């Protein structure tokens, strides 16, 4: 079993190492990219979006995101008063 320091080492390495962005989305183990572990669903954009939406919904931390072209755009609707006046008031979130 790893100590707390050993368990945190890979996360800290990935966060603190400059130039590591080219490995974004890779699985890391013991401060190295682990190429033995692959799952085609890891890069599935629809599942990633659904996980993001469900996480935000569960934590109440942000807007639900739109699907399709230009994905990762918050789904918002202007309140009736703002829509009628053409104003830019903050809009409430629209849930799926």
Kindly report, residue by residue over 51-61, the tens digit of the pLDDT.
888 988 898 88
Give the three-state DSSP class for 29. Answer: strand
**Bigger pLDDT: 4 vs 80:** 4
- Reported as a single tens digit per residue, the pLDDT across 60-89 is 887 666 665 555 555 544 444 444 444 444
Residues pairing with 29 in the sheet: 32
- Counting DSSP H helices and E strands in the chain, the numbers are 3, 2
Mean pLDDT within 23-32: 87
The pTM score is: 0.41
Q: Which residue has the tokens 């368990």?
A: 7
Q: For the chain, give every domain's residue range.
A: 4-38, 42-85
At a CB cut-off of 8 Å and minimum separation 6, what does 11 contact? none
């Amino acid at each position: 079993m790893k100590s707390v320091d050993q368990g945190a080492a890979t996360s800290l390495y990935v966060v603190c190492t400059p130039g590591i962005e080219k490995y974004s989305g890779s699985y890391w183990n013991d401060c190295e990219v682990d190429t033995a572990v692959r799952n085609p669903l890891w890069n599935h954009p629809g599942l990633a979006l659904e996980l993001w939406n469900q996480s935000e919904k569960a934590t109440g931390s942000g807007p639900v995101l739109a699907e399709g072209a230009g994905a990762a755009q918050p789904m918002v609707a202007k309140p009736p008063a703002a829509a009628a006046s053409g104003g830019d008031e903050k809009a409430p979130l629209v849930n799926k």
